[in-house]
A and B are shown apart, each in its own frame.
Chain A
Amino acid sequence: AQSVSQHNHHVILSEAASLELGCNYSYGGTVNLFWYVQYPGQHLQLLLKYFSGDPLVKGIKGFEAEFIKSKFSFNLRKPSVQWSDTAEYFCAVGVSNDYKLSFGAGTTVTVRA
């Protein structure tokens, strides 16, 4: 089974700072990649996804992620964060046509006004 590593457990930023969250996985075959976000008191929402094609994926709320196959990475970025981006972020990896998603441990992002 694949494993997913998120490098940061807790990130604290000021508003307008840039954000980058690391995600690496351990499967060598074809994968589907996801970032989910969980805002305080809300359910898990899909932020963006990669299945194939352009490795630079744009999601909701100004987030983007880049798939680098050679590095087994799918890092999440946002150029300028807002207080409302305070949330927990999860990277998830699935093998194509398999039902199992493997999740990273999550990164808590706190944005200070």
Chain B
Amino acid sequence: DGGITQSPKYLFRKEGQNVTLSCEQNLNHDAMYWYRQDPGQGLRLIYYSQIVNDFQKGDIAEGYSVSREKKESFPLTVTSAQKNPTAFYLCASSILVRPNEQFFGPGTRLTVL
């Protein structure tokens, strides 16, 4: 059954700790994305990657880092430099010829205490 998986569903961390969110897809999509969703603000793009070993900053990349070592995987690290990390994080993927048509994972809700 093809799709995007994100783990864990809920994550709690203490302030000052880095945390890595997992995103895996078996859709054979080339491009992958990370968004942050906050109430009343819609989704905002953090990072995206078109191909393995390459990625670009989105609109709110500060305090985040990513890697793309495999086509299927695009983990996001929320660093201690992110001033307001508590949010719902969504991973998405798309094919290269239709990059706008993105498919989303179930999300990870991160709470920093």
Q: Is chain B a partner of chain A in the same complex?
A: yes
Q: Which of A11-19, A62-70, A73-81, A93-101 contacts B (4 or more CB under 8 A)?
A: A93-101
With known contacts A43-B107, A44-B90, A101–B102 Cβ distance under 8 A: yes
Q: Which of B20-28, B36-44, B67-75, B78-86 contacts A (4 or more CB under 8 A)?
A: B36-44
With known contacts A104-B42, A105-B42, A46–B58 Cβ distance under 8 A: no
Residues of chain B in range 81-113 having any CB-CB distance to chain A below 8 Å: 90, 94, 98-107
Please report the total number of A residues contacting B with Cβ < 8 Å.
Answer: 28
Taking Cβ atoms with an 8 Å cutoff, the residues of A that contact B are: 1, 4, 6, 9, 32, 34, 36, 42-46, 49, 51, 90, 92, 94-101, 103-106
List 29 A–B pairs whose Cβ atoms lie within 8 Å, in order of A's numbering: A1-B59, A6-B42, A32-B100, A36-B104, A42-B106, A43-B90, A43-B105, A43-B106, A43-B107, A44-B90, A45-B104, A46-B101, A49-B101, A90-B43, A95-B100, A96-B100, A98-B100, A99-B31, A99-B50, A99-B100, A100-B58, A101-B100, A103-B35, A103-B42, A103-B43, A104-B42, A105-B40, A105-B41, A105-B42
